Chain A
């Protein structure tokens, strides 16, 4: 059997990948194997997951075609790097994964528009970790109270609206006033 990569030499290594019941075979010759760092037996088994990743590629199961399409638009013309973890946009595009939590602020300019497109929002409304600063907690509740306020005004429930407004003022004061 000929090598799948150079299509020239006789294949000496055969890999079979079975995923979701699909069987995929790859035949590799010695020469090409070297390029994939499949050289010694020892390295081969040690690096197997890495090798499989290189050969077959990988992808998260939850990623839909729509997401893939949007993500394909990530441009890395100046290929910025995250100063904290060193990952660059090109790698993020390829793997679909950020390198650290600061990537989102450091590379936000490139990432956030795509995230907005995929998620439909850039504003978390979910729960907040227990050990988050008080300030974030208060800011979050102000935001949700403001939404409530809008709704109360719409349905002309002014009494409730006034109560919510006072609450917001009090909370705002607590974080801006003395910043405790």
Chain B
């Protein structure tokens, strides 16, 4: 049972719990992979096979009420930049293996604050269903994924083995083929260098943590991605329960570290937050790495309620918007890639976003 059986004092004390957890846990992404029995996996199937499968799935989807709001994209028809943006928006792991023949994406509505679902056809596996929710929403995201899975399950026989469970192209997804990814903002745990300890404990309970944006082997912006390492040998419920328990634990740890820091050195944090704000407000050239570090501190300041002249900004969204690739795509810079120029665009974007007097 391990972690799953452990009760957290957080759960008993419901007031404000969600609020503080969602300050630290920014995103939940749940993904399930399925293959159709009797067909080669995408890694070996022909373009023709892939197209046949895509059409078969499309036929099912177009007749379903559940998919009314979903938009369909044939990946090979998309411009590269269009595809990149779409994948980023839905947090789909982009991969460039093989050609784009027969690849498709059904993308649900992305209404603010609610889950966005997507069905990806012929990526690593035949069918990949995922749902992204803001904050810590593992069960909501999983239920959404399973709702969609059930629709396909009625029409298709999935590749399945009584010992290995759902058969997937990657042996690391066998069993439940269920992956839960959580994005957490852990500035104070990092600051107090408890992070390495946390990583060690995490791997002992079957989860992995890595920097979400890796810059020179460090997690830029103190953003971490937590995900379940194994998919086989445990039931879906066990995995959901464990990842949630671990995330609550991590959030609690960060919260405690914040409280301790506040008690120990409130003027110090305030100074740090306001200095960072000053830099972001007046700098004309900002590298991505520096921006992430500064924004992370500002986000901490907002969370701790010690800075008030910052306009309300979505940290995760902004961090995505100001990345090099996003700026290049959004600004249609194409060949004119000059890092100073990108850095100056970035500085402008951030200033506009975080300062209140901006138009």
Partner of B100, one of A49, A100, A115: A49
Verify if A166 is at the interface (C-beta below 8 Å from B).
no
Interface size on B, residues (CB 8 A): 65
Partner of B170, one of A20, A97, A126, A129: A97
Q: Tell whether A49 pairs with B99 under 8 Å between CB atoms, given A20-B214, A100-B44, A104-B161.
A: yes
User: Top 7 closest A-B pairs, CB basis?
Assistant: A121-B233, A124-B165, A126-B176, A99-B44, A119-B232, A101-B159, A101-B167
Partner of A87, one of B37, B43, B165, B220: B43
Verify if B178 is at the interface (C-beta below 8 Å from A).
yes
Do residues A129 and B153 form an inter-chain contact, with CB atoms below 8 A?
Answer: yes
A124 to B231, CA, bound (A): 9
Residues of B within 8 A of A101 (CB): 35, 37, 41, 159, 161, 167
| Per-residue B-contact encoding for A110-121, CB less than 8 Å = 1, 0 else | 010011001111
Residues of B within 8 A of A53 (CB): 96-98
Verify if B359 is at the interface (C-beta below 8 Å from A).
no
Verify if A21 is at the interface (C-beta below 8 Å from B).
yes
Residues of B within 8 A of A111 (CB): 171
Chain B facing A: main interface SS: loop
Do residues B175 and A124 form an inter-chain contact, with CB atoms below 8 A?
Answer: yes
A21 to B206, CA, bound (A): 28
Residues of B within 8 A of A115 (CB): 164, 171, 174, 232
| Per-residue B-contact encoding for A54-80, CB less than 8 Å = 1, 0 else | 001010111110110000000000000
Return B164 CB to nearest CB of chain A, in Å.
Answer: 6
Do residues A119 and B43 form an inter-chain contact, with CB atoms below 8 A?
Answer: no
Verify if B276 is at the interface (C-beta below 8 Å from A).
no
Do residues A49 and B96 form an inter-chain contact, with CB atoms below 8 A?
Answer: yes
Residues of B within 8 A of A99 (CB): 40-41, 43-44, 169
Residues of A within 8 A of B358 (CB): none
Return A140 CB to nearest CB of chain B, in Å.
Answer: 7
Do residues A118 and B160 form an inter-chain contact, with CB atoms below 8 A?
Answer: no
Verify if A7 is at the interface (C-beta below 8 Å from B).
no
Do residues A60 and B95 form an inter-chain contact, with CB atoms below 8 A?
Answer: yes
A123 to B163, CA, bound (A): 5
Q: Which residues of B contact A (CB under 8 A)?
A: 35, 37, 39-41, 43-44, 80, 93-100, 124, 150, 153-154, 157-167, 169-172, 174-176, 178-179, 203, 206, 208, 210, 213-215, 220, 227, 229-236, 238, 288, 323-325, 328, 337, 339
Q: Which residue of A lies closest to B94 (CB)?
A: A19
Do residues A119 and B213 form an inter-chain contact, with CB atoms below 8 A?
Answer: no
Do residues A121 and B171 form an inter-chain contact, with CB atoms below 8 A?
Answer: no
Q: Tell whether A104 pairs with B43 under 8 Å between CB atoms, given A49-B98, A139-B162.
A: no
Partner of B174, one of A16, A63, A119, A136: A119
Residues of A within 8 A of B231 (CB): 119
A148 to B148, CA, bound (A): 32
Q: Which residue of B lies closest to A52 (CB)?
A: B96
Do residues B93 and A61 form an inter-chain contact, with CB atoms below 8 A?
Answer: yes
Q: Tell whether A85 pairs with B96 under 8 Å between CB atoms, given A126-B165, A129-B160.
A: no
